[in-house]
């Protein structure tokens, strides 16, 4: 059997397309020509997609120059002369078909789906490391945050045929989006990390968000397991929804009554937490390298999934102790400042009220000369946006933040709440925040940088950490 991810003939069969040129082997799949790689075994498949701003057919020459071994196209171009390709009626439909075929051929794999208002990417990554520790090289997961209508089928299409565990992140910002994605993934285990105000602009209530998150359970395979957050106010609602689709529902959390519970945990000097967890099958004492109470809860979701998958809990505990920091989601950097150093906590990828409160609480535990919170606006909160932004004052003050650097117009209600309680700098954009930090950062500071991705605070982190 070929060691390739796909052959040209397999791609044609899966998509209903027609192979032109020689049969070929592809060892990866991409629809961005910049992601095409020449691997040791061979090149990638490039899928030419038509988007609102660009047409992948215009990048075929670049894809082949970068080492693509074949392409999926809707029409021929001069760039295809002498190349191997599969021609289809619709490239998006072909990507979806390739994802379905990958899911079908991985019949022996245990498939896990992850969603939630916060923590889904971190939980997905932690779960990958937990399973990969004992099944090295046979665990597949979504990369980055490829969790939407294109990212999910792409992640499926990239799944090797001999995968033992597949982990797929699924996101949504409208009702019924998850219902469609979970039918692609067809998980054996489905996790909802938490429910909180996120994308509130598109939902009538937080209860409606919970119902939309519960759509992930609709795709569960027979005998499937639903994993729900016990501590969340909407946990019971999720459990009720899951009961219609799951053979069993497992709760996780930190409170008495959770099926997988963190009974005790303490901070450890090098960062992270030492946790004693109770599971249906016994107890586990382990360390998780990522700091914060929210990561204690995430770890319980990971353990619940590992146990449901019949995998090695001991190996999972060891992996969580070595979990690397995730860019934009809690990665910690030591930045040289003068003759000393400052701590920078990178939470720049996303933000909603729940994740803001969780990361501010962790900032409050950091030993520092000054605690500085660089907070970008939270997007898609709808009519309650002003109230949600103003409410950040409570966890910010509880964390004993010395200086709040607020970025974006949406932060005006928070600036007003803080003007008599905390030193503030209210700035228009990420460039202004970078300039402020460049002028004011001092040795001994602990700096949290957090905001919705659209605010662009990731560029601030990249600049400050370059060469560190």
pLDDT for res 106: 95
Residue 326, in any domain of the structure: no
Is residue 2's pLDDT more than 70? no
Whether 80 and 147 map to the same domain: the answer is no
CATH value at residue 83: 3.40.1390.10
CATH value at residue 207: 3.40.1190.10
Burial degree of 327 (CB within 10 A; 0-12, 13-18, 19+): middle
Domain count, the chain: 3
* Sheet strands (E) in 129-224: 139-141, 165-169, 189-192
Whether 70 and 159 map to the same domain: the answer is no
Distance CA 433, CA 330 (A): 19
- The whole-number average pLDDT for the span 323-337 is 91
Task: Examine the fold and report which residue of 286, 302, 321 is the final residue of a domain before the chain moves on.
Answer: 321
3-state secondary structure of 263: strand
Task: Examine the fold and report which residue of 268, 298, 321 is the final residue of a domain before the chain moves on.
Answer: 321
- The whole-number average pLDDT for the span 179-183 is 98
Distance CA 219, CA 241 (A): 12
Whether 357 and 424 map to the same domain: the answer is yes
3-state secondary structure of 190: strand
- The whole-number average pLDDT for the span 305-330 is 94
Is residue 340's pLDDT more than 70? yes
Phi, psi of 171 (to 5 degrees): -120, 170
Task: Examine the fold and report which residue of 289, 321, 353 is the final residue of a domain before the chain moves on.
Answer: 321
- The whole-number average pLDDT for the span 127-141 is 97
Whether 260 and 395 map to the same domain: the answer is no
State percent of the chain over pLDDT 90: 90
Distance CA 306, CA 139 (A): 12
| 296: Cβ contacts below 8 Å, ≥ 6 apart | 254, 262, 265, 273, 275, 288
- The whole-number average pLDDT for the span 233-262 is 98
pLDDT for res 38: 83
Residue 461, in any domain of the structure: yes
Whether 270 and 151 map to the same domain: the answer is yes
Whether 341 and 207 map to the same domain: the answer is no
Distance CA 34, CA 120 (A): 26
Whether 361 and 403 map to the same domain: the answer is yes
CATH value at residue 364: 3.90.190.20
pLDDT for res 42: 87
The residues pairing with 264 across neighbouring beta strands, listed in sequence order, are: 276
pLDDT for res 1: 33
Whether 269 and 123 map to the same domain: the answer is yes
| 230: Cβ contacts below 8 Å, ≥ 6 apart | 251, 252, 253, 255, 257, 258, 259, 261
Whether 190 and 237 map to the same domain: the answer is yes
Residue 116, in any domain of the structure: yes
Whether 90 and 145 map to the same domain: the answer is no
Q: Using one digit for the tens of pLDDT, what is the confidence trace for 391-449?
A: 999 999 999 999 999 999 999 999 999 999 999 999 999 999 999 999 999 999 999 99
Residue 391, in any domain of the structure: yes
Domain interval for residue 17: 6-94
3-state secondary structure of 345: strand
Dihedral sign of CA atoms 19, 24, 28, 32 in order: negative
Residue 402, in any domain of the structure: yes
Whether 282 and 374 map to the same domain: the answer is no
Residue 1, in any domain of the structure: no
Whether 223 and 338 map to the same domain: the answer is no
- Helices vs. strands in the chain: H and E counts, helices first: 16, 22
Residue 100, in any domain of the structure: no
| 468: Cβ contacts below 8 Å, ≥ 6 apart | 333, 334, 335, 336
Residue 177, in any domain of the structure: yes
Is residue 308's pLDDT more than 60? yes
The model carries a pTM of: 0.89
């Amino acid at each position: 059997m070929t060691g390739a991810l796909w052959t040209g003939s397999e791609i044609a069969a899966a998509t209903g397309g027609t192979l032109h040129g020689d049969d070929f082997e592809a060892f990866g799949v991409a629809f961005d020509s910049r992601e095409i790689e020449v691997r040791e075994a061979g090149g990638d498949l490039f899928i030419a997609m038509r988007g609102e701003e660009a047409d992948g057919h215009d990048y075929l020459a670049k894809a082949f120059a970068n080492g693509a071994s074949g392409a999926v196209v809707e029409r021929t171009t001069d760039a295809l002369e002498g190349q191997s390709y599969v021609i289809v009626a619709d490239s998006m439909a072909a990507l979806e078909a390739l994802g379905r075929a990958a899911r079908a051929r991985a019949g022996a794999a245990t498939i896990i789906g992850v969603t939630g208002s916060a923590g889904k990417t971190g939980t997905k990554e932690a779960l990958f490391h937990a399973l990969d520790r004992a099944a090295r090289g046979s665990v597949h997961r979504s990369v980055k945050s490829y969790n939407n209508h294109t990212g999910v089928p792409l992640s499926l299409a990239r799944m090797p045929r001999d995968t033992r565990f597949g982990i797929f992140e699924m996101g949504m910002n409208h009702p019924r989006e998850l219902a469609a994605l979970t039918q692609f993934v067809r998980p054996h285990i489905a996790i909802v990390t938490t429910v909180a105000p996120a994308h509130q602009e598109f939902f009538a209530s937080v209860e409606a968000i919970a119902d939309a998150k519960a759509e992930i359970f609709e795709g569960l395979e027979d005998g499937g397991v639903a994993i729900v957050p016990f501590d969340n106010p909407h946990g019971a609602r999720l459990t009720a929804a899951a009961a219609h689709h799951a053979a069993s529902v497992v709760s996780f959390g930190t409170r008495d009554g959770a099926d997988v519970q963190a009974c005790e945990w303490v901070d450890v000097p090098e960062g992270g937490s030492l946790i004693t967890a109770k599971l249906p099958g016994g107890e586990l004492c382990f360390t998780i390298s990522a700091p914060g109470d929210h990561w204690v809860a995430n770890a319980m979701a990971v353990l619940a999934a590992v146990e449901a998958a019949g995998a090695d809990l001991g190996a999972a505990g060891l992996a969580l102790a070595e979990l690397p920091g995730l860019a934009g989601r809690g990665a910690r950097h030591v930045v040289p400042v003068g003759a000393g150093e400052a701590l920078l906590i990178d939470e720049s990828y996303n933000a909603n009220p729940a994740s803001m409160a969780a990361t501010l609480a962790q900032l409050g535990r950091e030993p520092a000369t000054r605690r500085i919170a660089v907070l970008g606006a939270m997007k898609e909160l709808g009519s309650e946006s002003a109230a949600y932004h103003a409410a950040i004052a409570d966890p910010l003050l509880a964390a004993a933040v010395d200086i709040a650097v607020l970025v974006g117009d949406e932060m005006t209600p928070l600036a007003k709440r803080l003007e008599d309680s905390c030193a503030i700098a209210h700035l228009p954009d990420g460039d202004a925040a970078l300039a402020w930090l460049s002028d004011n950062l001092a040795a001994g500071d602990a700096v949290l940088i957090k905001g919705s991705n659209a605010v662009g605070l990731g560029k601030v982190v990249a600049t400050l950490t370059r060469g560190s």
